Structure 1
Protein backbone atom coordinates (compact mmCIF):
# COMPACT_ATOMS: atom_id res chain seq x y z
CA UNK A 1 0.00 0.00 0.00
CA UNK A 2 1.24 3.47 -0.89
CA UNK A 3 0.89 5.28 2.44
CA UNK A 4 1.64 8.96 2.92
CA UNK A 5 0.71 9.43 6.59
CA UNK A 6 1.83 7.30 9.54
CA UNK A 7 0.02 7.69 12.86
CA UNK A 8 1.64 6.63 16.14
CA UNK A 9 0.04 6.21 19.52
CA UNK A 10 2.35 7.55 22.26
CA UNK A 11 1.90 5.79 25.61
CA UNK A 12 2.94 2.13 25.55
CA UNK A 13 3.85 2.45 21.86
CA UNK A 14 6.82 4.83 21.93
CA UNK A 15 6.86 6.16 25.50
CA UNK A 16 7.36 3.39 28.08
CA UNK A 17 4.33 4.14 30.22
CA UNK A 18 4.81 1.36 32.76
CA UNK A 19 8.46 2.11 33.47
CA UNK A 20 8.08 5.89 33.56
CA UNK A 21 4.95 6.00 35.69
CA UNK A 22 6.26 3.43 38.16
CA UNK A 23 9.40 5.50 38.63
CA UNK A 24 7.32 8.62 39.30
CA UNK A 25 4.96 6.84 41.67
CA UNK A 26 7.87 5.38 43.61
CA UNK A 27 9.34 8.86 44.06
CA UNK A 28 6.00 10.20 45.30
CA UNK A 29 5.54 7.22 47.59
CA UNK A 30 8.83 8.00 49.28
CA UNK A 31 8.48 11.80 49.29
CA UNK A 32 5.07 11.76 50.96
CA UNK A 33 5.88 8.91 53.39
CA UNK A 34 3.09 6.75 52.03
CA UNK A 35 4.69 3.75 53.71
CA UNK A 36 2.83 5.00 56.79
CA UNK A 37 -0.40 3.93 55.09
CA UNK A 38 0.53 1.08 52.75
CA UNK A 39 2.40 -2.14 53.63
CA UNK A 40 4.70 -1.65 50.64
CA UNK A 41 5.15 0.27 47.42
CA UNK A 42 3.82 -2.78 45.61
CA UNK A 43 0.50 -2.50 47.49
CA UNK A 44 0.26 1.23 46.78
CA UNK A 45 1.11 0.74 43.12
CA UNK A 46 -1.35 -2.11 42.67
CA UNK A 47 -4.15 -0.16 44.35
CA UNK A 48 -3.45 2.95 42.30
CA UNK A 49 -3.33 1.09 38.98
CA UNK A 50 -6.66 -0.59 39.64
CA UNK A 51 -8.35 2.68 40.58
CA UNK A 52 -6.68 4.67 37.80
CA UNK A 53 -7.92 2.26 35.13
CA UNK A 54 -11.49 2.57 36.41
CA UNK A 55 -11.25 6.36 36.54
CA UNK A 56 -9.91 6.46 32.97
CA UNK A 57 -12.82 4.29 31.82
CA UNK A 58 -15.20 6.85 33.32
CA UNK A 59 -13.27 9.68 31.67
CA UNK A 60 -13.42 7.97 28.26
CA UNK A 61 -17.17 7.61 28.72
CA UNK A 62 -17.46 11.33 29.47
CA UNK A 63 -18.72 10.69 33.00
CA UNK A 64 -15.95 12.61 34.79
CA UNK A 65 -13.73 15.53 33.84
CA UNK A 66 -9.98 15.61 33.41
CA UNK A 67 -9.47 17.70 36.55
CA UNK A 68 -11.64 15.37 38.61
CA UNK A 69 -9.74 12.32 37.37
CA UNK A 70 -6.37 13.82 38.25
CA UNK A 71 -7.11 14.25 41.95
CA UNK A 72 -9.77 11.61 42.51
CA UNK A 73 -7.61 8.65 41.47
CA UNK A 74 -5.16 9.46 44.25
CA UNK A 75 -7.91 10.38 46.71
CA UNK A 76 -9.54 6.97 46.21
CA UNK A 77 -6.16 5.24 46.46
CA UNK A 78 -5.44 6.91 49.80
CA UNK A 79 -8.97 6.32 51.03
CA UNK A 80 -8.60 2.60 50.30
CA UNK A 81 -5.79 2.68 52.88
CA UNK A 82 -7.98 4.53 55.38
CA UNK A 83 -6.62 8.01 54.63
CA UNK A 84 -9.30 10.63 53.90
CA UNK A 85 -7.10 13.54 52.84
CA UNK A 86 -8.20 15.47 49.75
CA UNK A 87 -5.38 18.00 50.13
CA UNK A 88 -2.70 15.31 50.06
CA UNK A 89 -4.39 13.61 47.12
CA UNK A 90 -4.48 16.89 45.21
CA UNK A 91 -0.80 17.54 45.94
CA UNK A 92 0.24 14.07 44.80
CA UNK A 93 -1.98 14.36 41.72
CA UNK A 94 -0.41 17.66 40.72
CA UNK A 95 3.12 16.41 41.27
CA UNK A 96 2.38 13.26 39.31
CA UNK A 97 1.19 15.29 36.32
CA UNK A 98 4.21 17.60 36.56
CA UNK A 99 6.85 14.93 37.13
CA UNK A 100 5.79 12.08 34.87
CA UNK A 101 6.47 13.90 31.56
CA UNK A 102 10.06 14.40 32.71
CA UNK A 103 10.67 10.67 32.42
CA UNK A 104 12.29 9.68 29.16
CA UNK A 105 12.25 5.89 28.86
CA UNK A 106 11.23 4.86 25.35
CA UNK A 107 10.74 1.43 23.86
CA UNK A 108 13.79 0.02 22.06
CA UNK A 109 14.32 1.25 18.49
CA UNK A 110 11.98 4.25 18.88
CA UNK A 111 14.44 6.83 17.60
CA UNK A 112 15.86 4.54 14.93
CA UNK A 113 12.53 3.68 13.34
CA UNK A 114 11.27 7.26 13.48
CA UNK A 115 14.47 8.52 11.86
CA UNK A 116 14.05 5.95 9.09
CA UNK A 117 10.39 6.82 8.49
CA UNK A 118 10.69 10.61 8.68
CA UNK A 119 12.11 11.14 5.15
CA UNK A 120 9.40 8.98 3.56
CA UNK A 121 6.17 9.80 5.42
CA UNK A 122 4.34 12.48 7.33
CA UNK A 123 4.37 11.33 10.94
CA UNK A 124 1.75 12.21 13.55
CA UNK A 125 1.06 11.24 17.14
CA UNK A 126 -2.59 10.45 17.92
CA UNK A 127 -3.19 10.20 21.65
CA UNK A 128 -5.93 10.13 24.27
CA UNK A 129 -3.57 11.59 26.85
CA UNK A 130 -3.87 15.09 28.29
CA UNK A 131 -2.67 17.73 25.82
CA UNK A 132 -0.09 19.47 28.01
CA UNK A 133 1.28 16.20 29.37
CA UNK A 134 1.69 14.52 25.99
CA UNK A 135 3.36 17.53 24.41
CA UNK A 136 5.78 17.68 27.34
CA UNK A 137 6.65 13.99 26.94
CA UNK A 138 7.36 14.44 23.25
CA UNK A 139 9.59 17.45 23.89
CA UNK A 140 11.44 15.88 26.80
CA UNK A 141 12.13 12.67 24.86
CA UNK A 142 13.35 14.67 21.85
CA UNK A 143 10.69 13.20 19.58
CA UNK A 144 9.41 16.53 18.24
CA UNK A 145 11.67 16.68 15.16
CA UNK A 146 10.10 13.51 13.80
CA UNK A 147 6.46 14.56 14.00
CA UNK A 148 4.47 17.09 12.04
CA UNK A 149 1.94 17.38 14.86
CA UNK A 150 0.67 15.82 18.08
CA UNK A 151 -3.12 15.46 17.90
CA UNK A 152 -4.89 14.73 21.18
CA UNK A 153 -8.42 13.68 22.06
CA UNK A 154 -8.85 17.11 23.63
CA UNK A 155 -8.14 18.67 20.22
CA UNK A 156 -10.63 16.37 18.50
CA UNK A 157 -13.33 16.51 21.15
CA UNK A 158 -13.56 12.72 21.03
CA UNK A 159 -11.38 9.87 22.25
CA UNK A 160 -10.06 6.85 20.42
CA UNK A 161 -11.65 4.43 19.50
CA UNK A 162 -14.55 6.78 18.64
CA UNK A 163 -14.68 6.99 14.86
CA UNK A 164 -15.30 10.72 15.20
CA UNK A 165 -11.77 11.09 16.55
CA UNK A 166 -10.33 9.55 13.39
CA UNK A 167 -12.73 11.51 11.18
CA UNK A 168 -11.48 14.69 12.84
CA UNK A 169 -7.88 13.71 12.08
CA UNK A 170 -8.57 12.79 8.44
CA UNK A 171 -10.52 16.00 7.85
CA UNK A 172 -7.90 18.14 9.58
CA UNK A 173 -5.10 16.65 7.47
CA UNK A 174 -7.23 16.45 4.31
CA UNK A 175 -6.09 12.89 3.67
CA UNK A 176 -7.95 9.76 2.60
CA UNK A 177 -8.00 6.86 5.09
CA UNK A 178 -6.38 4.46 2.62
CA UNK A 179 -3.30 6.71 2.56
CA UNK A 180 -2.82 6.30 6.32
CA UNK A 181 -1.68 3.62 8.72
CA UNK A 182 -2.06 3.58 12.52
CA UNK A 183 0.54 2.07 14.85
CA UNK A 184 -0.54 1.34 18.41
CA UNK A 185 -0.48 -1.10 21.31
CA UNK A 186 -4.17 -1.17 22.27
CA UNK A 187 -6.15 -3.60 20.15
CA UNK A 188 -9.50 -2.06 21.10
CA UNK A 189 -8.58 1.62 21.19
CA UNK A 190 -5.91 2.09 18.50
CA UNK A 191 -6.47 -0.83 16.17
CA UNK A 192 -10.24 -1.36 16.18
CA UNK A 193 -10.83 2.39 16.18
CA UNK A 194 -8.61 2.98 13.16
CA UNK A 195 -10.00 0.00 11.27
CA UNK A 196 -13.56 1.24 11.71
CA UNK A 197 -12.41 4.48 10.09
CA UNK A 198 -10.97 2.58 7.11
CA UNK A 199 -7.34 3.01 8.21
CA UNK A 200 -4.82 0.17 7.99
CA UNK A 201 -3.10 -0.78 11.24
CA UNK A 202 0.09 -2.11 12.77
CA UNK A 203 -0.57 -3.70 16.15
CA UNK A 204 2.36 -3.49 18.57
CA UNK A 205 1.61 -6.65 20.52
CA UNK A 206 3.83 -6.44 23.60
CA UNK A 207 2.25 -9.41 25.32
CA UNK A 208 2.05 -11.60 22.20
CA UNK A 209 -1.56 -12.37 23.10
CA UNK A 210 -4.17 -13.58 20.63
CA UNK A 211 -7.17 -11.39 19.83
CA UNK A 212 -10.27 -11.79 17.71
CA UNK A 213 -9.62 -8.39 16.11
CA UNK A 214 -7.18 -8.85 13.23
CA UNK A 215 -4.88 -5.93 12.43
CA UNK A 216 -3.43 -5.34 8.98
CA UNK A 217 0.02 -6.10 10.39
CA UNK A 218 1.34 -7.21 13.77
CA UNK A 219 4.74 -6.63 15.38
CA UNK A 220 6.38 -7.44 18.70
CA UNK A 221 9.25 -4.94 18.35
CA UNK A 222 9.36 -1.48 16.81
CA UNK A 223 12.25 -2.34 14.50
CA UNK A 224 9.91 -4.73 12.66
CA UNK A 225 8.08 -1.70 11.25
CA UNK A 226 10.97 -1.33 8.82
CA UNK A 227 9.92 -4.48 6.97
CA UNK A 228 6.39 -3.09 6.52
CA UNK A 229 6.96 0.58 5.69
Structure 2
Protein backbone atom coordinates (compact mmCIF):
# COMPACT_ATOMS: atom_id res chain seq x y z
CA UNK A 1 0.00 0.00 0.00
CA UNK A 2 1.38 3.40 -0.93
CA UNK A 3 2.14 5.87 1.83
CA UNK A 4 -0.37 8.74 1.79
CA UNK A 5 1.26 11.96 0.64
CA UNK A 6 -0.15 15.19 2.08
CA UNK A 7 2.65 17.50 0.97
CA UNK A 8 1.63 19.90 -1.83
CA UNK A 9 3.66 19.04 -4.92
CA UNK A 10 2.64 21.94 -7.14
CA UNK A 11 0.26 24.83 -7.53
CA UNK A 12 -3.16 23.79 -8.79
CA UNK A 13 -5.84 25.97 -10.35
CA UNK A 14 -8.59 23.49 -11.28
CA UNK A 15 -10.00 20.77 -9.02
CA UNK A 16 -12.11 18.00 -10.56
CA UNK A 17 -14.33 16.05 -8.16
CA UNK A 18 -16.13 12.78 -8.62
CA UNK A 19 -19.69 12.97 -7.23
CA UNK A 20 -21.05 9.59 -6.11
CA UNK A 21 -19.13 7.98 -3.22
CA UNK A 22 -16.87 11.04 -2.98
CA UNK A 23 -19.14 13.98 -2.13
CA UNK A 24 -22.66 12.62 -2.45
CA UNK A 25 -23.14 9.62 -0.14
CA UNK A 26 -24.55 7.13 -2.63
CA UNK A 27 -24.69 4.20 -0.21
CA UNK A 28 -26.65 6.07 2.45
CA UNK A 29 -29.01 7.65 -0.05
CA UNK A 30 -29.58 4.35 -1.87
CA UNK A 31 -30.21 2.56 1.42
CA UNK A 32 -32.96 5.04 2.34
CA UNK A 33 -34.52 4.76 -1.12
CA UNK A 34 -34.46 0.95 -1.17
CA UNK A 35 -36.05 0.75 2.29
CA UNK A 36 -38.82 3.04 1.09
CA UNK A 37 -39.46 0.86 -1.97
CA UNK A 38 -39.45 -2.30 0.16
CA UNK A 39 -42.25 -0.85 2.29
CA UNK A 40 -44.09 0.81 -0.58
CA UNK A 41 -44.34 -2.43 -2.55
CA UNK A 42 -44.88 -4.57 0.57
CA UNK A 43 -42.01 -6.86 -0.37
CA UNK A 44 -42.07 -8.23 3.14
CA UNK A 45 -45.21 -10.17 2.19
CA UNK A 46 -43.03 -12.88 0.69
CA UNK A 47 -41.65 -13.66 4.12
CA UNK A 48 -38.45 -15.09 2.66
CA UNK A 49 -36.12 -12.10 2.89
CA UNK A 50 -35.63 -9.06 5.08
CA UNK A 51 -35.22 -5.46 4.04
CA UNK A 52 -31.52 -5.76 4.94
CA UNK A 53 -31.16 -8.73 2.57
CA UNK A 54 -33.00 -6.80 -0.14
CA UNK A 55 -30.65 -3.83 0.23
CA UNK A 56 -27.56 -6.05 0.35
CA UNK A 57 -28.42 -8.12 -2.71
CA UNK A 58 -29.38 -5.03 -4.70
CA UNK A 59 -26.11 -3.34 -3.78
CA UNK A 60 -23.99 -6.28 -4.95
CA UNK A 61 -25.91 -6.70 -8.21
CA UNK A 62 -25.94 -2.99 -8.94
CA UNK A 63 -22.18 -2.71 -8.38
CA UNK A 64 -21.57 -5.64 -10.73
CA UNK A 65 -23.79 -4.07 -13.40
CA UNK A 66 -22.01 -0.72 -13.01
CA UNK A 67 -18.69 -2.42 -13.65
CA UNK A 68 -20.13 -3.81 -16.87
CA UNK A 69 -21.50 -0.39 -17.80
CA UNK A 70 -18.19 1.33 -17.12
CA UNK A 71 -16.42 -1.16 -19.38
CA UNK A 72 -19.00 -0.52 -22.14
CA UNK A 73 -20.36 -4.07 -21.95
CA UNK A 74 -23.96 -3.04 -21.23
CA UNK A 75 -25.95 0.11 -21.91
CA UNK A 76 -27.51 2.52 -19.43
CA UNK A 77 -30.94 1.22 -20.39
CA UNK A 78 -29.93 -2.39 -19.83
CA UNK A 79 -28.53 -1.54 -16.40
CA UNK A 80 -31.77 0.13 -15.39
CA UNK A 81 -33.96 -2.63 -16.80
CA UNK A 82 -32.33 -5.62 -15.14
CA UNK A 83 -31.06 -4.52 -11.72
CA UNK A 84 -34.31 -5.04 -9.81
CA UNK A 85 -35.32 -8.09 -11.84
CA UNK A 86 -32.02 -9.77 -10.94
CA UNK A 87 -32.19 -8.62 -7.33
CA UNK A 88 -35.67 -9.99 -6.73
CA UNK A 89 -34.96 -13.16 -8.71
CA UNK A 90 -31.99 -13.79 -6.41
CA UNK A 91 -34.41 -13.43 -3.49
CA UNK A 92 -36.89 -15.87 -5.00
CA UNK A 93 -39.41 -13.47 -6.55
CA UNK A 94 -40.60 -14.51 -10.05
CA UNK A 95 -39.96 -11.96 -12.78
CA UNK A 96 -43.71 -11.69 -13.40
CA UNK A 97 -44.15 -10.44 -9.83
CA UNK A 98 -41.48 -7.73 -9.94
CA UNK A 99 -43.39 -4.49 -9.19
CA UNK A 100 -44.02 -2.47 -12.33
CA UNK A 101 -42.01 0.72 -12.45
CA UNK A 102 -39.81 -0.04 -9.44
CA UNK A 103 -36.61 0.83 -11.30
CA UNK A 104 -38.09 4.11 -12.53
CA UNK A 105 -39.26 4.90 -8.99
CA UNK A 106 -35.76 4.27 -7.67
CA UNK A 107 -34.29 6.57 -10.32
CA UNK A 108 -36.84 9.26 -9.44
CA UNK A 109 -36.51 9.10 -5.64
CA UNK A 110 -32.77 8.50 -5.22
CA UNK A 111 -31.41 11.80 -6.59
CA UNK A 112 -33.74 13.74 -4.31
CA UNK A 113 -31.83 12.44 -1.29
CA UNK A 114 -29.39 14.86 0.28
CA UNK A 115 -26.80 12.93 2.32
CA UNK A 116 -23.20 13.93 1.67
CA UNK A 117 -19.93 12.83 3.24
CA UNK A 118 -18.71 14.58 6.41
CA UNK A 119 -17.18 18.03 5.85
CA UNK A 120 -18.36 18.21 2.21
CA UNK A 121 -19.83 21.70 2.41
CA UNK A 122 -17.17 23.05 4.75
CA UNK A 123 -14.35 21.87 2.48
CA UNK A 124 -16.01 23.11 -0.70
CA UNK A 125 -16.61 26.49 0.94
CA UNK A 126 -12.88 26.62 1.70
CA UNK A 127 -11.75 25.46 -1.74
CA UNK A 128 -13.99 27.54 -3.98
CA UNK A 129 -12.29 30.76 -2.91
CA UNK A 130 -8.91 29.38 -4.00
CA UNK A 131 -9.65 27.14 -7.01
CA UNK A 132 -12.08 26.62 -9.85
CA UNK A 133 -14.13 23.53 -9.04
CA UNK A 134 -15.66 21.08 -11.51
CA UNK A 135 -17.37 17.68 -11.44
CA UNK A 136 -16.51 14.75 -13.68
CA UNK A 137 -18.82 11.76 -13.30
CA UNK A 138 -19.95 8.54 -14.95
CA UNK A 139 -23.36 9.06 -13.34
CA UNK A 140 -26.37 9.43 -15.58
CA UNK A 141 -26.78 12.97 -16.84
CA UNK A 142 -30.54 13.11 -16.24
CA UNK A 143 -30.13 12.79 -12.48
CA UNK A 144 -26.77 14.40 -11.65
CA UNK A 145 -28.13 17.93 -11.49
CA UNK A 146 -31.03 16.79 -9.30
CA UNK A 147 -28.52 15.26 -6.86
CA UNK A 148 -26.52 18.48 -6.82
CA UNK A 149 -29.60 20.59 -6.18
CA UNK A 150 -30.99 18.27 -3.50
CA UNK A 151 -27.72 18.32 -1.57
CA UNK A 152 -27.02 22.05 -2.05
CA UNK A 153 -23.90 21.42 -4.13
CA UNK A 154 -24.80 23.11 -7.43
CA UNK A 155 -23.30 26.51 -6.69
CA UNK A 156 -19.81 25.17 -6.03
CA UNK A 157 -19.09 23.87 -9.54
CA UNK A 158 -18.38 25.74 -12.75
CA UNK A 159 -18.68 22.71 -15.03
CA UNK A 160 -20.39 19.34 -14.62
CA UNK A 161 -18.89 16.88 -17.09
CA UNK A 162 -20.81 13.62 -17.51
CA UNK A 163 -19.90 10.55 -19.51
CA UNK A 164 -22.99 10.96 -21.65
CA UNK A 165 -22.00 14.51 -22.57
CA UNK A 166 -18.38 13.66 -23.30
CA UNK A 167 -19.09 10.38 -25.10
CA UNK A 168 -16.59 8.51 -22.92
CA UNK A 169 -16.58 6.79 -19.55
CA UNK A 170 -13.94 7.09 -16.85
CA UNK A 171 -11.26 5.73 -16.79
CA UNK A 172 -10.96 6.46 -20.53
CA UNK A 173 -8.38 9.22 -20.74
CA UNK A 174 -10.47 10.90 -23.44
CA UNK A 175 -13.08 11.80 -20.85
CA UNK A 176 -10.45 13.63 -18.83
CA UNK A 177 -9.07 15.27 -21.95
CA UNK A 178 -12.61 16.37 -22.83
CA UNK A 179 -12.95 17.83 -19.33
CA UNK A 180 -9.68 19.76 -19.69
CA UNK A 181 -10.73 21.12 -23.05
CA UNK A 182 -14.20 22.10 -21.85
CA UNK A 183 -12.89 23.91 -18.77
CA UNK A 184 -9.84 25.47 -20.40
CA UNK A 185 -7.58 23.78 -17.85
CA UNK A 186 -4.14 22.29 -18.36
CA UNK A 187 -3.32 18.86 -16.99
CA UNK A 188 -0.37 20.09 -14.95
CA UNK A 189 -2.52 22.63 -13.09
CA UNK A 190 -5.36 20.20 -12.40
CA UNK A 191 -6.16 17.71 -9.65
CA UNK A 192 -8.73 14.87 -9.66
CA UNK A 193 -10.40 13.85 -6.38
CA UNK A 194 -12.31 10.55 -6.34
CA UNK A 195 -12.97 7.29 -4.54
CA UNK A 196 -12.39 4.83 -7.37
CA UNK A 197 -8.83 3.66 -7.98
CA UNK A 198 -9.52 2.63 -11.56
CA UNK A 199 -12.00 5.23 -12.78
CA UNK A 200 -10.71 8.29 -10.94
CA UNK A 201 -7.08 7.65 -10.04
CA UNK A 202 -5.86 5.59 -13.00
CA UNK A 203 -7.98 7.54 -15.46
CA UNK A 204 -6.56 10.86 -14.29
CA UNK A 205 -3.02 9.47 -14.16
CA UNK A 206 -3.26 8.34 -17.79
CA UNK A 207 -4.33 11.85 -18.75
CA UNK A 208 -1.38 13.39 -16.93
CA UNK A 209 -3.47 14.74 -14.04
CA UNK A 210 -2.47 14.44 -10.38
CA UNK A 211 -4.91 12.52 -8.20
CA UNK A 212 -6.36 12.40 -4.70
CA UNK A 213 -7.63 8.97 -3.71
CA UNK A 214 -10.53 9.38 -1.28
CA UNK A 215 -10.32 6.20 0.78
CA UNK A 216 -12.50 6.56 3.91
CA UNK A 217 -12.49 2.80 4.55
CA UNK A 218 -8.67 2.70 4.31
CA UNK A 219 -8.76 -0.13 1.79
CA UNK A 220 -5.41 -1.78 1.14
CA UNK A 221 -3.99 -1.16 -2.32
CA UNK A 222 -0.72 -0.98 -4.20
CA UNK A 223 -1.53 1.91 -6.53
CA UNK A 224 0.96 4.71 -7.14
CA UNK A 225 -1.05 7.83 -6.33
CA UNK A 226 -0.28 11.49 -5.78
CA UNK A 227 -2.25 11.96 -2.55
CA UNK A 228 -4.50 9.81 -0.36
CA UNK A 229 -7.06 10.93 2.23
CA UNK A 230 -9.53 9.22 4.50
CA UNK A 231 -11.65 12.31 5.16
CA UNK A 232 -12.48 15.25 2.93
CA UNK A 233 -11.28 17.61 5.67
CA UNK A 234 -7.73 16.43 4.94
CA UNK A 235 -7.80 18.32 1.64
CA UNK A 236 -7.30 21.52 3.60
CA UNK A 237 -3.87 20.25 4.71
CA UNK A 238 -2.35 20.65 1.26
CA UNK A 239 -4.77 22.72 -0.82
- Per the normalisation by structure 2, the TM-score is 0.91
What does 1:70-89 correspond to in 2, within 5 Å?
Answer: 70-85=80-95, 88-89=98-99
Q: Is the 8 A contact 2:49 2:91 kept in 1?
A: no
1:87-125, Cα deviation, whole Å (9 max, x unpaired): 845511001000001111111111111111111111001
Of 19, 24, 40, 1:31 maps to 40
- Structure 2 CA distance, aligned partners of 1:90 and 1:178? 49
2-side partners of 1:139 and 1:86: how far apart? 36
Task: Tell me what 2:166 maps to.
Answer: 156
Q: Following the alignment from structure 1 to structure 2, what is the Cα–Cα distance between the partners of residues 31 and 147? A: 35
> Hey, what's the Cα distance between the residues in 2 that align with 1:201 and 1:217?
6
- Answering whether residue 110 of structure 2 is matched by residue 93 of structure 1, we say no
> Whose RCO is larger (CA < 8 A, sep 6+)?
2
Distance in 1, Cα, partners of 2:209 & 2:126: 22
Q: CA deviation at 1:187?
A: 1.4
Unaligned runs of 5+ in 2: 1-9
Aligned to 2:113: 103
Give the conservation status (yes or no) of the 8 Å contact 1:101–1:133.
Answer: yes
Give CA deviations for 1:103-160 in whole Å, capped at 9, x if unaligned: 1111111111111111111100111110111111001111111110211111111111
Question: How many residues are treated as equivalent by the alignment?
Answer: 229
Q: Is 2:6 the partner of 1:16?
A: no
Q: 1:4 matched to which residue of 2?
A: 13
Partner of residue 176, structure 1 = 186
| Residue aligning to 2:132 | 122
What is the alpha-carbon root mean square deviation over aligned residues? Answer: 1.4
Q: Which runs of 5+ in 1 are unaligned?
A: none
2:29 and 2:207 mapped to 1: Cα distance?
A: 31
Q: Which moved more, 1:99-108 or 1:49-58?
A: 49-58
